[in-house]
Structure 1
Amino acid sequence: MPDTPSEPEVFKKDTSRLQRLRRLLTSSLDPRAWAHALKVVNYYNYTHVQELRKASLGRNVRISPTVSFSNAQNVSIGENGRIGAGCSLWAGPDEGRIEIGPDAMFGPNVMVTAAGYRFNEGSPVTKQPMKEADVVLGRDVWVGYAAVILPGTVIGDGAIIGANAVVRGQIPENAIMTGNPAQQVGTRSIAPPQ
């Protein structure tokens, strides 16, 4: 049986440290790399840093650095709120507010929007007026991974929204909601304070 190489020759060549250092320096001097880095910093500043300053935040609120905001002057988060990584809080530019009650907790990648475009026939969606409606989440609401909360939604105190649920409308207190569209699958029992 003839000897067959286990790997192509291309992968067997060991690059020296000097070659790797040269590659690193060459790529870091590439103006395209710097342009991309500046775009990333600008986007982060525009969607997080500047917008976060406009939001109304209660005491002890924790917000992941990867949360993005739109029209944050129309966003309020109650005390002890927790907003997980990759969440998007997109309020309307005019009247669509997002109000998150105290002790609310969002898992990663939750999307809350208080505005959307109409889609009537006759003109492109982007040329149609926005439809805005407030989104209100009560006290002690837990929203799971990648849930979507649509304009006009009101979620009662103590409700739990399951992962990947798509929520619209009135959600009762202590309801456990899952699915697309979200359906109530149970009720959360909360012990009375002692």
Structure 2
Amino acid sequence: MALEKNGLMTRLGRVLRSFVHPQVLIHPFRILHYYGYSHALQRPRLTMGRDVRLAPNSSFRNGERIALGEKVQVGEYCALWAGRSSSWIRVGARTTFGPGCFITAADYGLAADQRITDQDMVERDVIIGADCWIGTKAVITAGVTLGDGCVIGAGSVVTKDVPAGAIAAGIPAKVIRMRT
């Protein structure tokens, strides 16, 4: 009985110490900082048309270079990252992003003689036409233009332009057919 009581007290002591550990106490502030930086502080910088719907956990970088047309819908856990200095993400009216999409308008340089993160970003605009549907967890890379009314399949990685009215899917995404 005494051994069981000692074991219980030891476990209870570990649980209590985990709540007062400095890293545990600081963690909520780190989360608030991240949320403020990528969610709350970026939203006023966005250019948005009427009736835009943004999931509360969508993430933006360099919001002053992101333009969303009327009735755009950005799903849960989506990230739209414009370039640091010049490249834009422009989204046409009535385009819908499924959950978990990632759109970036900048890439790191790839020179072999430098650390990747020390190189200048290569920035290129991303243009997404009106009335597009971007499937869950799709990735759209820098420099891509999606024509009006195109559909991007779930989980696709778009590295090249997609014409208006096309349905594209895969890694890398390829046009599989036209909507008409």
Is the structural similarity TM-score above 0.5? yes
User: 1:85 corresponds to which residue?
Assistant: 76
User: 2:50 corresponds to which residue?
Assistant: 59
Tell me the secondary structure at the aligned position of residue 85 of structure 2: coil
4+ residue segments displaced more than 2 Å:
22-34
Report the residue type matching 1:111 in the other structure.
Answer: F
Map Cα deviations across residues 15-64 of structure 1 (whole Å, 9 max, x no partner): 9xxxx9x9987765554333111111110000010011111111111111
Larger radius of gyration: 1
Map Cα deviations across residues 164-186 of structure 1 (whole Å, 9 max, x no partner): 11112221111000001111111
The size of the alignment, in residue pairs, is 172
1:134 aligns with 2:125: yes
User: Percent identity at matched positions?
Assistant: 37
TM-score after normalising by structure 2: 0.88
Tell me the secondary structure at the aligned position of residue 103 of structure 2: strand
C-alpha RMSD of matched pairs (Å) = 2.0
User: 1:4 corresponds to which residue?
Assistant: none
Report the residue type matching 1:117 in the other structure.
Answer: Y
Map Cα deviations across residues 90-128 of structure 1 (whole Å, 9 max, x no partner): 100111100011000000110100001110121111111
User: 1:5 corresponds to which residue?
Assistant: none
Quote the Cα distance in structure 2 between the aligned partners of 1:172 and 1:128. Answer: 32
User: 1:112 corresponds to which residue?
Assistant: 103
User: 1:192 corresponds to which residue?
Assistant: none
Tell me the secondary structure at the aligned position of residue 176 of structure 1: strand
Give the drift of 1:74: 0.4
User: 1:145 corresponds to which residue?
Assistant: 136
Report the residue type matching 1:106 in the other structure.
Answer: F
TM-score after normalising by structure 1: 0.82
User: 1:168 corresponds to which residue?
Assistant: 159
For structure 2, which runs of at least 5 residues remain unmatched after alignment? none
